[in-house]
Amino acid sequence: MLVKNWMSKKVVTIDVEDSMSHAVRLLKEHQVRMLPVLKKGKLVGVVSDSDIKRASASDATTLDVHELLYLISKVKVKDIMSKDPITVPPDYTVEETAEVLMQHKISGVPVVDRGGDVVGIITRDDLFNVLISLSGLGKRGIQFAFKLEDKPGSIKELTDIIRRHGGRIASILGSYARVPAGFRVVYMRAYDLKREEMPQIIEELNRKALILYMVDHRDDKRQIFHDLGE
């Protein structure tokens, strides 16, 4: 899952010499939260809605509307932008990018190629889209969460049960976080399972692994069987 496949390729940029009012207009017009700032075609900063609010906040209570509009028409983007912006290359994975956003407590970054050109932007919203696509949530279905032994064939035992009942596996995600050594948590989404067969399916699955929960996104039904710590 590379950034270049999930980033927004239509990038709205602004020049360092443009006014803050122009930045406000672009952010509103294109419904974006951040603009890469260019100088002679190269990235030198970013300006966000937070930068604009911070720049005008100190004077907002003492100026009337006309004075405030005059102020933001005179202030340059280069005076309020965040310099030396954090960037990622197109061949970064989305996981690496999520880590960058978390470490720096930012909502998005420009994507810059080896030549220094801005080729896209990737934001938290884009990462949410990755998560939804990866998990298969868009097509609903049923998600199971299991705590199972970390041994060869343990996941196959579960998928075999689901397939025997006519189910199709949409996604399988796993994690070793918050479980004892020798175990892992597996999240599995399946389609085409007959709801009338669910009690039998659950019974068969429970013989192979500890079922933590089951969520039927089609019918909005949820069953919590065990906590992760059990």
Where does 3-132 sit in CATH, by number? 3.10.580.10
Q: Spell out the CATH class of 137-224.
A: alpha beta
Per residue of the chain (230 residues), give pLDDT as tens: 899 999 999 999 999 999 988 998 999 999 998 999 999 999 999 998 888 878 765 555 555 555 556 666 778 999 999 998 999 999 999 999 999 999 999 999 999 999 999 999 999 999 999 988 888 787 789 999 999 999 999 999 999 999 999 999 999 999 999 899 999 999 999 999 999 999 999 999 999 999 999 999 988 999 999 988 66
Q: Describe the crossing of helices 154-164 and 198-208 by its angle, rounded to 10 degrees.
A: 160
Spell out the domain ranges in the chain.
Answer: 3-132, 137-224
* Cβ 99 vs Cβ 76: under 8 Å: no
CB-based burial of residue 89 (10 Å sphere; 0-12 exposed, 13-18 middle, 19+ buried)?
middle
